[in-house]
Structure 1
Amino acid sequence: MNIDESSSPRVWIEKTQQEGRRYKQEGELALGKALISPSEDNGGYRRYETLREADIGDIVLHLVQEQYQIVAISVIDSELQEDFEGPPDNRWSEEQAGGGYRRDLRSKEGIEPHIHIYDDILRNEEYTEDLQRICETTDQKIFYTKNLQLNQGHYFTECPPELVEIFAAESSNLRTLLEKHGYTVIGGTEPYSSISEATDAIREQLTDESSDNWIGSALATDVIKEWTTVLRRNSTVENDIDPSDVHVYEQLFDLYNRHIEQLQTQAGRLGVQQITDSSLTPAQVLFVVLIRDLQLQADLTPNFNHVKMDQLLDERFRRPPLEEPTTLPRGRDTIARQLSRVNQLIFHGPPGTGKTYTAREFARWWIARQSEAPTEAQLEVVTFHPSFTYEDFIEGLTARQHNGGVEYAVEAGVFKRLCDRARHTYESHREGESEGSPPPYVLIIDEINRGNLAQIFGEIITLLEPDKRQYATSETATTLPHSNERFTVPPNLYVIGTMNTADRSIALVDAALRRRFRFIHFPPEMTPLEERYGFDGEVELEALATEGDAADSLLALSILAWKQLNARIRDASQLGRGKQLGHSYLLGIDQDDEATEQVAQLVDAWQFEILPLLEEYYFGQFVQIEQQLFDGDAGELLDTDRQEIRAFTAGELATVLAELVGINVVWETPTPSDDSFSNSLGYLAENDVLKIGDELHFDINSMHENPEPQFEPDSDYWVCTVADLGAQKGVRWAYDGELHSLTDLARRIDHDHRDTKRTSYAGHDYWYIPGYDEYSLLELARAIRDGEPIPEQLQSAEL
Structure 2
Amino acid sequence: MARRKLENNSEYIIEPIDEWRNKCLLNDRSLFSDESLWKKENFDELIKNYVENPVTDSDKGFYEKLEIQLQNCSPETIKLTAECIWLLYILVEQHTISVETKIKRIKQIWELSGEEFPESQRFLNEKYLVGLLAPGLAFKTMIWKELSYLITTFSEWKALNFNEREKLLSDKECWNFCEFATSRENGDSCAFRHMLLYMVFPKYFEAIASKNFKTIIYLTFRDFANNDEFLENNELCTLDKTVHEIRKQFEKEHGDNFSFFKSPWKNYWKPDEVPQIKYWIENIKQKWHTEEENERGIGEVAWSPTKASDGSKRYEEIKEAKPGDIVFHFVNDKGLVGVSKVKEECKEVPGNDFERATGTPWEGRESFYAAELDQFQSLDPILLKEQIFENPKTSAALRKFLDVNNSKKTFFNKRMNIQQGSYFTEAPRALIIALNMRYKELNGIDLPYLEGLNPAVDTRDRFSKLVQDINFNYEGGKERLRKIIDVIKEKKSVVFYGPPGTGKTFIASKIAEYLTKGKRKNWDIIQFHQSYSYEEFMEGFRPTLNKEQESLNFQLKSGRFKTFCEEARKAEDEKPFVFIIDEFNRGNVTKIFGELMYLLEYRQESESIVLPYSGKRFWIPPNVYIIGTMNTADRSLAIMDFALRRRFAFLRFDPEYQILRTFLKNQDKEELAEKLIKMLAEVNRKITDKDFHIGISYFTKKDLNENHAKRIWEFEIETYLEELFHEDTEKIKELRWKSLSNNV
TM bracket (short chain):
0.3 to 0.5
The normalised TM-score by structure 2 is 0.34
Larger Cα-atom Rg = 1
Structure with greater contact order relative to length (CA < 8 Å, sep ≥ 6): 2
